[in-house]
Amino acid sequence: MKKRVLLGTLALTFMFSASAFATEVSEKDSESVKSYSYTNEDNFIVKVQEKTFTPLSDGSGITLAASPDWTCSTKLGKAFKFPVPQAQLFSTGETKSSFVASKLGVVTRLYHNGGILATASDTQSNTNLAAATAWQGTMILPSYDAYGYSNHTFESKGYSSWYPETREDYNGW
């Protein structure tokens, strides 16, 4: 009888410690990063850095059966801006969720030679998208030493929050 109780206790202890170990997955482990580029409608190359994250339940209450996928990106490129048709640099920060999130936000900045040229931000509640675009302005700049940098906010009840940063460099293409 003592052997059965001891074996049962050991089995339960192992199961609880194994399940506790399985829930201690680092948030970094579920983050993926990719970079790509495409040609926009003005025939300029736009470079993108994109991060995707699947948040873990924070254990505070009811969560959806499937975890949301959160995606954020910084897009950097040139486009014609009107009324004066001039090619200008832009940085767009985008924050998306596959499900409606409690709060999504983005602050994006366009830098040149270490200084901020422009900034833009957007914060939304109970939505699945926040996006902002920072434009260069009317001054003409050489096409190098510029980058876009964005800070993102993902908050949703029942899930761990995520505050990533994305950056894309211009490098004179």
135-153 burial: b if 16+ Cβ within 10 Å, else e: bbeeeebeeeebbbbbbbb
> Tell me: the pLDDT tens digits for 61-94?
555 556 778 999 999 998 887 776 778 889 999 9
Comparing 24 with 114, the larger pLDDT belongs to 114
Lowest mean pLDDT among 6-10, 45-49, 131-135, 153-157: 6-10
> In this model, does residue 3 exceed pLDDT 60?
no
Contacts of 81 (CB under 8 A, 6+ apart): 87, 88, 135
Q: Are 45 and 77 in contact (CB under 8 A)?
A: yes
Q: What is the pLDDT of residue 113?
A: 82
Asked if pLDDT for residue 163 goes beyond 60, the answer is yes
CATH of 73-172 among 1.10.1760, 2.60.120, 3.30.310, 2.60.40: 2.60.40
pLDDT at 160: 84
The model carries a pTM of 0.75
For all residues of the chain together, what is the average pLDDT? 79
Query: Is residue 169 predicted with pLDDT exceeding 60?
Result: yes
Residue 142's pLDDT band, with cuts at 50, 70 and 90, is: low
Predicted confidence (pLDDT) at residue 159 exceeds the cutoff of 80 = yes
Which pLDDT score, from 0 to 100, does residue 150 have? Answer: 97
What are 9-68's pLDDT values in tens digits? 434 443 333 333 333 334 444 789 999 999 999 898 899 999 999 887 776 655 555 677
Where are the extended beta strands (E) located within the chain? 31-39, 45-53, 70-81, 86-112, 115-135, 146-155, 165-169
